[in-house]
């Protein structure tokens, strides 16, 4: 494994800073942070704009942001750690560990326009591999709108925090609801990683928060990564901002393909995420999203529950680019990391927001065809992001990674992370 960082042109790296500042000045984001690193650590780091616009607090290295689906990579790593320890196999039926999933059903298409929903028995069991690859048939309401009413009526939510319940309670409830298709037949981004979070709890005998802290976060020195940030860190937690538009604006938007139609007027500026937006677009507990530090929550969402800092999450990325070892601590083997960043779904069709998703591994999106991407890329790059406009990617060929964080929702109109990718590769000289 290479042990030196790649060489970048300093002047060209400053283009990233200018890009971030341009978005802040234009009222697209309140603040933005970007870090580029390699096997030996940080190559570039900049923080631009505000953590809190109302209080005039600048975004900085200790600012804590909601990382939403960037939680998925850490949960997937936890599953692979248990696999290495012989606690499970990728081909194991999920029902071997969570019996409520023993008799899955599939939603019948012919019932699309009728009240209620008709089902049939699924052809096959959900496996752990299918959860890691989002091929189980489990959906999000926004990726499979037919599930929206079914999930909401049952009290199953796409992501976020829910007070006074556990992930186990919600996932057992999810097990009673139909799948979108037979396990293994298609790719569909959904609540799979929340199920995996509960699986980690069942297999380890720990809560997901305990497993993360003891087995991953503390060993990696990720001291500012929490499901619920403690009260003493409340002044470092970034509020979420949204375009200052009338909520009726969202009624005609196809959420799955919103990037093509969502263009708010930037001159309207930004405002704090409000109750109406979470009710209409997120369907989650606004108070828990706005003030997670005020709750000793029990709901540990393996798919979207973490808060973190730019530097903390960069530690996780550095572990992966070093193939499972960091500062003398090895969490998984190089072969496991390589399996996680390898195509595990064959030629199954993928479509998430018309994005750059090409193939999928064990917890990560993978770029195989660089000609399909809207930015410069290297074959084999793997990555993901979060709903509040956070993102990361890892390039094994060049042994580099990057993490970008903002606090923006909805974020479909913001292409900053794609343009930052172009600037990164434009600055890479060796």
170: part of which helix (H) or strand (E)?
Answer: helix 167-174
Across 1-74, the runs of DSSP E, i.e. the strands, are 31-38, 41-52, 57-58, 65-66
Contact 162, 170 (CB under 8 A): yes
pLDDT at 350: 80
CATH topology of domain 53-397: Beta-lactamase (3.40.710)
pLDDT at 2: 47
Sign for the CA dihedral angle at 65, 355, 275, 27 comes to: positive
Tokens of 395: 């390039």
Extract the residue ranges of the chain whose pLDDT is less than 50.
Answer: 1-2, 112-113
Tokens of 163: 């007070």
The 10s digit of each residue's pLDDT in 113-145 is 455 679 999 999 999 999 999 999 999 988 888
pTM: predicted TM-score of the whole model, two decimal places: 0.94
pLDDT at 352: 63
Enumerate the domain spans of the chain: 53-397
Task: Please give the Cα distance from 274 to 277 (Å, whole number).
Answer: 6
pLDDT at 248: 79
The 10s digit of each residue's pLDDT in 56-92 is 999 999 999 999 999 999 999 999 999 999 999 999 9
């Amino acid at each position: 494994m290479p042990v030196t960082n790649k060489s970048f042109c300093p002047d060209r790296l400053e283009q990233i800073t200018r890009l971030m500042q341009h978005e802040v000045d234009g009222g697209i984001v309140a603040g933005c942070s970007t870090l580029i690193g390699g096997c030996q650590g940080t190559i570039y780091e900049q923080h631009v704009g505000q953590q809190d616009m109302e209080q005039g607090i600048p975004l900085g290295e200790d600012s804590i942001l909601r990382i939403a689906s960037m939680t998925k990579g850490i949960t997937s790593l936890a599953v692979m750690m248990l696999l290495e320890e012989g606690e499970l196999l990728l081909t194991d039926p999920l029902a071997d560990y969570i019996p409520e999933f023993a008799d899955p059903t599939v939603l019948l298409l012919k019932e699309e326009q009728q009240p209620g929903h008709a089902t049939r028995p699924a052809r096959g069991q959900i496996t752990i591999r299918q959860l890691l690859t989002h091929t189980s048939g489990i959906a999000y309401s926004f990726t499979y709108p037919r599930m929206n009413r079914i999930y909401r009526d049952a009290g199953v939510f796409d992501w976020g925090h829910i007070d006074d319940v556990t992930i186990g309670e919600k996932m057992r409830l999810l097990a009673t609801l139909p799948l979108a298709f037979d396990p293994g037949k298609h790719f569909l981004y959904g609540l799979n990683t929340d199920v995996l979070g509960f699986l980690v709890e069942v297999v380890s005998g720990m809560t997901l928060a305990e497993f993360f802290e003891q087995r991953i976060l503390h060993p990696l020195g990720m001291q500012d990564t929490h499901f619920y940030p403690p009260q003493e860190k409340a002044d470092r937690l970034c509020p979420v901002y949204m375009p200052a538009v009338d909520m009726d604006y969202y009624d005609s938007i196809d959420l799955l393909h919103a990037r093509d139609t969502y263009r708010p007027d930037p001159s309207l500026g930004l405002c704090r995420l409000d109750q109406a937006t979470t009710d209409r677009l997120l369907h989650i507990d606004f108070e828990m999203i706005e003030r997670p530090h005020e709750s000793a929550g029990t709901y540990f969402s393996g798919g979207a529950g973490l808060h973190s800092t730019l530097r903390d999450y960069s530690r996780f990325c550095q572990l992966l680019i070093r193939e499972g070892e960091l500062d003398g601590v090895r969490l998984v083997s190089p072969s496991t990391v390589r399996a996680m960043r390898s195509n595990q779904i064959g030629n199954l069709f993928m479509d998430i927001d018309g994005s750059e998703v090409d193939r999928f591994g064990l917890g990560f999106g993978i770029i195989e065809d660089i000609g399909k991407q809207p930015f410069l890329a290297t074959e084999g790059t793997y990555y993901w992001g979060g709903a509040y406009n956070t993102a990361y990617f890892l390039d094994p060929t060049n042994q580099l990674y990057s993490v970008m964080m903002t606090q923006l929702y909805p974020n479909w109109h913001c292409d900053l992370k794609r343009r930052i990718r172009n600037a990164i590769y434009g600055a890479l000289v060796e």
